Structure 1
Amino acid sequence: MTPPDTENARFGRVMLKISGEALMGDQGYGLHPPTVERIAQEVKSVHDMGVEICMVIGGGNIFRGLQGSAQGMERTTADYMGMLATVMNALAMQSALERIGAYCRVITAIRMDEVAEPYIRRRAVRHLEKKRICIFAAGTGNPYFTTDTAATLRANEMACEAILKGTKVDGVYDKDPVRHADARRFERVTYDEVLAQHLGVMDASAIALARDNNLPIIVFSLDEPGGFRSILSGAGTYTTVHA
């Protein structure tokens, strides 16, 4: 087996944030096992470089609290249901990673000891030091906070060097590139520009938390084969959100 080579990686420890929708492939709902497997392979390829990886996965492919609230459900209840959806996605990803030989732990902000570990910061750091992938689930454990905010919070707590946000497009654009052929991609953009121009990288709380702790956010396409590894190797197409 080729030994890990962190010298060739831009960062030693990163947070990968992906949406729940990324796991459903071409389906309109739920989990698409081949897509989960493909993303797991992408994650393992970076892990094999010696990079310590944290992950946060959204739950929108199963249930989105804000939409439930809009349909008349009490917001707090809807958000807790969304948190449970993120745990389901995390367990699916853990299973896929372990099938291909990557050690992994699911760590939840809501106690459910039979299926995952409770969040204890020092224990999570130790898992990373032992080269285990840590998937943080159930958001922050509080309603009204998104998984974007949870990813930024955990990234700071784990002393990650960057947040890598995998999306369907290869960076941040001034408008939707799917609907507008003249959309312009930014190479670099500041936190304040993201907030002022409503560029939709992450929600405002997450951007503010990243800005206050000078934590860069790299937005790239998770649909591009090898995209995650290429970013860590210093190549690929992406947008950096910075101070």
Structure 2
Amino acid sequence: MSLVLPGEHVPAQHVNLKLGPGLLQSSSAQGQAAIVSTRAGEVMSNPKGNKWWIEGNSRRYVPAPQESVVGVVISRSGENWRVDIGSAHMASLDGLAFEGATKRNRPNLKVGSLLYARVSLAHKDMEPELECFDAQTRKAEGFGELKGGFLVQCSLKMCRLLLDPKHFLFPLLGARFPLETAVGINGRVWVNCKDPRQTIAVVRCIEAVDPDGGGMEEVAVKKFLGTLDV
């Protein structure tokens, strides 16, 4: 892939094209649609070629529709909750945005509760909106309140690496002990293990592999795990 600066055209094409962070569709003077970068970074796409985004070294998360995030409930406003997802603005979560939720039957979230949610609306002039179900099936599909566990802060790039099924870290850890994880694209990873020592090991490995930290490779991580009592 290539490096681009803000304002440069990106040759993203697909029948079902989906644009991620750093890309914007605009119209030229001739009325033709064009894909333009809104920030500097590396042009990336998934194997199918239908999802494109700009991978940069941004420190703050910029919400984009359909992205999964880990948020923290900070307050309640009527029937809605305000959630911190690490972006410039707090996100809004409707009380009915859960599987099977009704006016009489809805989650009882408290301040400080952790959530695994999906960004349903993101616009530069509006607060982002969240929902805790899959838009197509209306089922939870893993979204909802995250109970127990530990929240890890890492770089945005590390989260994208962990979401890649081919990345070595979680399969390597999962072969040693059972663990639950929820990776948000917003620089947050929720980890839940039976033994606190295992949780600490996962956290230390994420920090060590993070490109903004040690950038440790698989062989080094295996040696590192050998020094831990897990």
Give TM class, smaller chain. Answer: under 0.3
Structure with more helix by fraction: 1
Q: TM-score, normalised by structure 1?
A: 0.25
- If each structure's strand is expressed as a fraction of its own residues, which one has the higher value? 2
- Answer 1 or 2: higher relative contact order, Cα 8 Å, separation at least 6: 1
